Structure 1
Amino acid sequence: MSEQTEPSGASALREPSEAPQRREVPRDRAFFGHPMGLFTLFNTELWERFSYYGMRAILLFYLTDSVANGGLGLDDTLGAAMVAAYGTGVYLLSVVGGWLADRVIGARRSVLYGGIVIAAGHVALTIPSAGFSYLGIGLVALGTGLLKPNVSSMVGELYGREDPRRDSAFSIFYMGINIGSLAAPLVVGLARSIGGYHAGFAVAAVGMGIALVFFVLGRRLLGGAGDVAPNPLTAADRPAVTRMILVVVLGVLVAVAVAWVVSGGFGPATFVDALSYLALVAPVATLWVMFRSPKVTDHERSRLRAYVPLFVAATLFWMIFEQAASTLAQYAESRTDLEVLGTTLSPELFQSINPALIILLAPVFAWLWVRLDDRPPTAVKFAIGLTFAALSFVFLAGMSAVFADTKSPPWVLGGVYLLQTIGELCLSPVGLAATTLLAPKAFRGQAMALWFLAPAAGNAITAQLVQATEGASDTAYFGGIGLVALVFAGAMFAIAPWVTRHIRAGAESDAEAALQR
């Protein structure tokens, strides 16, 4: 996060308009009508997501499997809560990555250093030791926080604010994410079946190494995107930054202390609860800093007001969607019939359904947004996305009741992932594009980090729900969440005109305002 007040004196922070301008992007239409820099970022994110989703595909099973089978032996409820907390940590640390990119090292270096830390984390996970496993999980979370928000913000830097290719570019970029996500559970799951959990983690380490190679070799195609911190620190900033760091450290200590009191001791559950509290407070604090900053103009504040309900809708969407690695993974393992035509499916396989559907449908949606001239407005797309996510859980609740006395067929989870994928394509790439468009210039990296705090908060809610509803039936659990999300989706449809008006009011040109119809 940035400091709350602007320092005075001759060495005060530069205004956003004084930030250095990047060079012209080379080969502006060489990659399917887009800059070749998109190709570099596409491949970097593809292989980084391969490593991340490969590790995530087997993480729950590793945590909850018996020690005799090579796992850590945690109970199912705590394992699911820890996976959700891990997802919280990954996205919570994106605040750190966004701040460092904005104020210190720029987006490109943040991506590079993050990739190196992720690779080190995956290597640690290859060592058969509980201590190295927890170290590896922590390093992957830290490295992803450095990398994830900034590679996405660099995609936005390749395009002018009025460039109609922006949504299409993020749909293409999103397809790269899902190519990696599709291959990861299949390859890592195969490696796990042959050589155990640590062999699977080794494959994830190789994927991250390939991502680093693409990023380093493709730097010249980025046209300087991400080279310079847009809001660099000066000597006058040191007191404010010191105060900010002290506040953050104090906040972490308070969260741990509260979690300690609530859980009645110090253990894995304390860690889960502390992360949950931080994830729920962090986006509120980040938005508060942005609204109060003198570097944010009135136009930018109008855009921020519009962003708040979009953020809430995204949080609820990711609360549902991110359960693929926790409650849905448990459903695949224990409540799904894995015998198909004499073949036993691995539970990891179901986590490849969503990216496979994304690969098939992302080009269709990219074409659709261009064909519709980017209609409907962003807020309506968010409402549609949340509606489909909510319906996926309502559907799963109904099917779990129908198959209450037996295991459900594989097509049930297939239907869940189909509904979630349609919702994802309406909300996620559109949300990435909207964040780069609505972000205040002085908070570009942090605004992208704020976008990734939505899944952090969603995972935090899941971590609490899993523990609070222990023993509840699948029908009650999934049905309750789905119905609540449907109510919020209806509210999002109702306030969509208000959101659109504020986005238009915050536009920096008539052409930009016209994009919101």
Structure 2
Amino acid sequence: MSDSSSRENIFSSTVLGHPSALFVLFFTEMWERFSFYGMRVLLVLFLTAGLLSNNPGWEWPRENALALIGTYGSLLYLTPLIGGYVADKITGYRVAVVIGCVIMTLGHAAMALETKSSFYLGLGLLVIGTGFFKPNITSIISNMYKGKDEKKDGAYTIFYMGVNAGAFFGMMICGYLAENFGWSWGFGLAGIFMMLGCLQFWLARPIFGDIGAKPTRYNLTPDLPLTDAKFEELEDGPKVVNQETDKRNPFRMFDYVLMVVSAVGGLLYLFNDPLEKIEKINLLPFKVGSLSGTHFVVLVALVSFLILLITRIIRYSPITRDRIIAVCFCGLFTVFFFMAFEQSLGSMTIFADSYTDRELVGSSAMIFKIIDALLTTVPLIIITWVLLKLFGQTFRKISLSNIFLGIAFMGIWCLVIFRLVNKFSEPGNTIDASWFAILNSFFIISLAPLFSKWWESKYNPSAGMKYGFGLILLGIGFGILAFGAWDIPQGAMTAKVSIIFLILAYLFHTMGELCLSPLGLSYVSKLVPPRMIAFMFGVWYLAIAVGQKSAGAMGGMIDKISEAYSIGTFFLIFTIVPIGMGLLAMSLSPIMKKLMHGIK
């Protein structure tokens, strides 16, 4: 059966106006995000928890924990480039998704053992598995909706809800079990749902026909991953609006040498940073003048990359060159955005755990319990209704897949009810530190329709203005945290700040994220010529990876800055830098608009 025939068959069975197959992908992505975020929110809490506490962890210094988390977060944005290539050339999208699921399941299982070697092995497997999973499940959607562009926006919106629903329930349930019953429960539960998601997807393969079954052509722009509960829509292949004819610009041997030097240097730093801090193993034990081996390698990698980028850009004609420069500006702002935004699962989780008053009593405790119960059950009821719709359309064709999906949902309902019963049976209420991380997903789902209306209206801002709004809103969120933490004494390791400051910070951070979510990868696909697209997608991933690692490095300075100044000063840095970059983005907006030469 051809791909076109498969698409027609897929659209013959629909749920809510979309193919049933879309909802198979919806739930597969939901369980993957459940496991991913359910594990990730525990990392900093587990690594920094005291050895003699009620729920003992490894009592690592915060700097060491965030160094490891920063490297882990960076690698998650690099391996999808390899996973997308393998799927395009060898396995096909569906097999790549299953390979990713299996590897990630093994990774979660390894982490549940809580030994140092198994923990590192687990993180490595999760990085590899994510590389196979993320770029290819979105490629299946893009392939499925080829020729039906009018329905693609709605399809990705539905898929986006699966992303955030999985992140929401994963952080809530895995966080609750880990903080109240032991870390292995949280790590292990994430693996169980990853396995159920894998089985559900694999057993549903008849519904897809030939879509994603095998490589048909090498697509230079495989769909890229939805990560950290973010939503990016990419068209199937490059949406090349630029029709200017450019002379052929092949990569030269010098280009490849610069690529290798910058890649090896970057990877050496990523691995050496946590190894040196945690294990006292220095992969770069030399000095060049006054520079340490680490600083020298980073400098060489950075200079090599800049030379590569500049020498590639100047070979193009003026209009194309201008458009690529505009993308580079966006990449720069992206680095600063993620450097601050990714504090959510690092220093902000530490703030929630050690500096926030999470003990509620009396009427405030009961009000919170009711709100928490509604936040948990209402979305689950809606998703269960979608599940029943899917069962009605597909049970005869993919009954085993539906059975495993039903088992997963029964498990979620049991865990949610178990959690709520325990919470309501307590005389007061202690909010889990991991609970605050769910606010990002909740606010995204609540606010995304409003921002979508804004972008579709005549008041839709330019790219530079959107970046400016996003960075400034992000800075305001940290300003609220800085204000709330300002009275915490210098060097204090604990405090009791009101939860309202964290809640408001997550609200502003989410609004900032929604300003940036329509940008980035879509601009790469529109502004960059075909010969440069794969390279620039790599550059874009690199920008996000640098932001992730910078987040870990900056977040790891929380204790040093708190001891020298205060924790309020620490968050003030994340207020000033994003707002400053946001104002710069706004001031450069007319220049960026001119560089784009009519691309919107």
TM range, smaller chain: 0.7 to 0.9
SS state at 1:471 partner: helix
Match of 1:413 in 2: 502
SS state at 2:77 partner: helix
Q: Supply the distance in 1 between the matched residues of 2:300 and 2:185 (Cα, whole angstroms).
A: 35
Compared with structure 1, are the counterparts of its residues 128 and 479 closer, same or farther at alpha carbon in structure 2 (3 Å cutoff)? closer
Does the 8 Å CA contact 1:105/1:229 hold for their aligned counterparts?
A: no
Does the 8 Å CA contact 1:399/1:412 hold for their aligned counterparts?
A: yes
TM-score, length basis structure 1 = 0.77
Residue 66 of structure 1: which of 50, 67, 74 is its match? 50
Does the 8 Å CA contact 1:191/1:199 hold for their aligned counterparts?
A: yes
Compared with structure 1, are the counterparts of its residues 211 and 285 closer, same or farther at alpha carbon in structure 2 (3 Å cutoff)? farther
Pair 1:251 & 2:336 matched: no
Match of 1:9 in 2: none
User: How is 1:303-382 mapped onto 2 (pairs within 5 angstroms)?
Assistant: 303-340=323-360, 341=365, 342-370=428-456, 372=457, 375-382=460-467
Q: Supply the distance in 1 between the matched residues of 2:21 and 2:318 (Cα, whole angstroms).
A: 32
Alpha-carbon displacement from aligned partner over 1:226-254 (angstroms, at most 9, x marks no partner): 8445259xxxx9x9999899757853675
Match of 1:475 in 2: 568
Pair 1:52 & 2:137 matched: no
Does the 8 Å CA contact 2:107/2:124 hold for their aligned counterparts?
A: yes
Match of 1:81 in 2: 67
Q: What displacement does 1:346 show?
A: 0.9
Compare 51-60 and 390-399 and name the one that shifted more.
Answer: 390-399
Consecutive unaligned residues in structure 2, runs of 5 or more: 221-250, 286-292, 366-427
Compared with structure 1, are the counterparts of its residues 46 and 334 closer, same or farther at alpha carbon in structure 2 (3 Å cutoff)? same
Does the 8 Å CA contact 1:291/1:301 hold for their aligned counterparts?
A: no
Q: What displacement does 1:343 show?
A: 0.8
Match of 2:471 in 1: 386
Does the 8 Å CA contact 2:268/2:283 hold for their aligned counterparts?
A: no
Q: Supply the distance in 2 between the matched residues of 1:329 and 1:500 (Cα, whole angstroms).
A: 38
Alpha-carbon displacement from aligned partner over 1:307-342 (angstroms, at most 9, x marks no partner): 212222222221122111110011001110011122
Between Structure 1 and Structure 2, whose CA radius of gyration is higher?
2
Residue 218 of structure 2: which of 226, 230, 244 is its match? 230
Compared with structure 1, are the counterparts of its residues 413 and 428 closer, same or farther at alpha carbon in structure 2 (3 Å cutoff)? same
SS state at 2:514 partner: helix
Residue 455 of structure 1: which of 544, 557, 567 is its match? 544
Q: Supply the distance in 2 between the matched residues of 1:279 and 1:361 (Cα, whole angstroms).
A: 41
Q: Supply the distance in 2 between the matched residues of 1:222 and 1:308 (Cα, whole angstroms).
A: 40
Q: What displacement does 1:298 show?
A: 8.6
Q: Supply the distance in 2 between the matched residues of 1:438 and 1:198 (Cα, whole angstroms).
A: 46
Alpha-carbon displacement from aligned partner over 1:45-65 (angstroms, at most 9, x marks no partner): 222111110001111121122
Q: Supply the distance in 2 between the matched residues of 1:376 and 1:162 (Cα, whole angstroms).
A: 27
Alpha-carbon displacement from aligned partner over 1:351-406 (angstroms, at most 9, x marks no partner): 11111112222233334434x17933344323222221121112211221156595
Q: What displacement does 1:345 show?
A: 1.0
Q: Supply the distance in 1 between the matched residues of 2:61 and 2:215 (Cα, whole angstroms).
A: 46
User: How is 1:161-240 mapped onto 2 (pairs within 5 angstroms)?
Assistant: 163=149, 169-193=155-179, 195-216=181-202, 217=204, 220-221=207-208, 224=211, 227-230=215-218
Match of 1:90 in 2: 76
SS state at 1:60 partner: helix
Does the 8 Å CA contact 2:275/2:281 hold for their aligned counterparts?
A: no
CA RMSD of aligned residues (A): 4.5
Compared with structure 1, are the counterparts of its residues 450 and 412 closer, same or farther at alpha carbon in structure 2 (3 Å cutoff)? same
Match of 2:425 in 1: none
Compared with structure 1, are the counterparts of its residues 150 and 291 closer, same or farther at alpha carbon in structure 2 (3 Å cutoff)? farther
Compared with structure 1, are the counterparts of its residues 274 and 497 closer, same or farther at alpha carbon in structure 2 (3 Å cutoff)? same
Q: What displacement does 1:201 show?
A: 0.9
Aligned residue pairs, count: 480
SS state at 2:125 partner: helix
Does the 8 Å CA contact 1:191/1:200 hold for their aligned counterparts?
A: yes
Compared with structure 1, are the counterparts of its residues 395 and 70 closer, same or farther at alpha carbon in structure 2 (3 Å cutoff)? closer
Q: Supply the distance in 1 between the matched residues of 2:283 and 2:179 (Cα, whole angstroms).
A: 30
Match of 1:15 in 2: none
Q: Supply the distance in 1 between the matched residues of 2:48 and 2:108 (Cα, whole angstroms).
A: 19
Compared with structure 1, are the counterparts of its residues 132 and 259 closer, same or farther at alpha carbon in structure 2 (3 Å cutoff)? closer
Compare 469-478 and 382-391 and name the one that shifted more.
Answer: 469-478
User: How is 1:150-165 mapped onto 2 (pairs within 5 angstroms)?
Assistant: 150-157=136-143, 163=149
Does the 8 Å CA contact 2:90/2:215 hold for their aligned counterparts?
A: no
User: How is 1:101-140 mapped onto 2 (pairs within 5 angstroms)?
Assistant: 101=87, 105=91, 107-140=93-126
Q: Supply the distance in 2 between the matched residues of 1:28 and 1:97 (Cα, whole angstroms).
A: 28
SS state at 1:224 partner: coil
Q: Supply the distance in 2 between the matched residues of 1:295 and 1:359 (Cα, whole angstroms).
A: 43
Q: What displacement does 1:349 show?
A: 0.6
Compared with structure 1, are the counterparts of its residues 390 and 223 closer, same or farther at alpha carbon in structure 2 (3 Å cutoff)? farther
Compared with structure 1, are the counterparts of its residues 361 and 28 closer, same or farther at alpha carbon in structure 2 (3 Å cutoff)? farther
Does the 8 Å CA contact 1:263/1:269 hold for their aligned counterparts?
A: no
Q: Supply the distance in 1 between the matched residues of 2:135 and 2:297 (Cα, whole angstroms).
A: 21
**Which residue type is aligned with residue 56 of structure 1?**
R
Q: Supply the distance in 2 between the matched residues of 1:287 and 1:42 (Cα, whole angstroms).
A: 42
Alpha-carbon displacement from aligned partner over 1:285-324 (angstroms, at most 9, x marks no partner): 4994798499999987654333212222222221122111
Does the 8 Å CA contact 2:488/2:567 hold for their aligned counterparts?
A: no
Q: Supply the distance in 2 between the matched residues of 1:113 and 1:104 (Cα, whole angstroms).
A: 13
Q: What displacement does 1:418 show?
A: 0.3
What percent of counterpart residues are identical?
27
Compare 317-326 and 208-217 and name the one that shifted more.
Answer: 208-217
Q: Supply the distance in 1 between the matched residues of 2:154 and 2:139 (Cα, whole angstroms).
A: 15
User: How is 1:10-29 mapped onto 2 (pairs within 5 angstroms)?
Assistant: 23=4, 25-26=7-8
Compared with structure 1, are the counterparts of its residues 65 and 402 closer, same or farther at alpha carbon in structure 2 (3 Å cutoff)? closer
Q: What displacement does 1:181 show?
A: 0.8
Q: Supply the distance in 1 between the matched residues of 2:171 and 2:538 (Cα, whole angstroms).
A: 26
Task: Choose between structure 1 and 2 for higher RCO, CA contacts under 8 A separated by at least 6 residues.
Answer: 1
Compared with structure 1, are the counterparts of its residues 461 and 44 closer, same or farther at alpha carbon in structure 2 (3 Å cutoff)? same
Compared with structure 1, are the counterparts of its residues 32 and 227 closer, same or farther at alpha carbon in structure 2 (3 Å cutoff)? farther
Does the 8 Å CA contact 2:27/2:197 hold for their aligned counterparts?
A: yes
Consecutive unaligned residues in structure 1, runs of 5 or more: 1-20, 506-512
Does the 8 Å CA contact 2:87/2:136 hold for their aligned counterparts?
A: yes
Q: Supply the distance in 2 between the matched residues of 1:132 and 1:279 (Cα, whole angstroms).
A: 33
Q: What displacement does 1:265 show?
A: 8.5
**Which residue type is aligned with residue 32 of structure 2?**
E
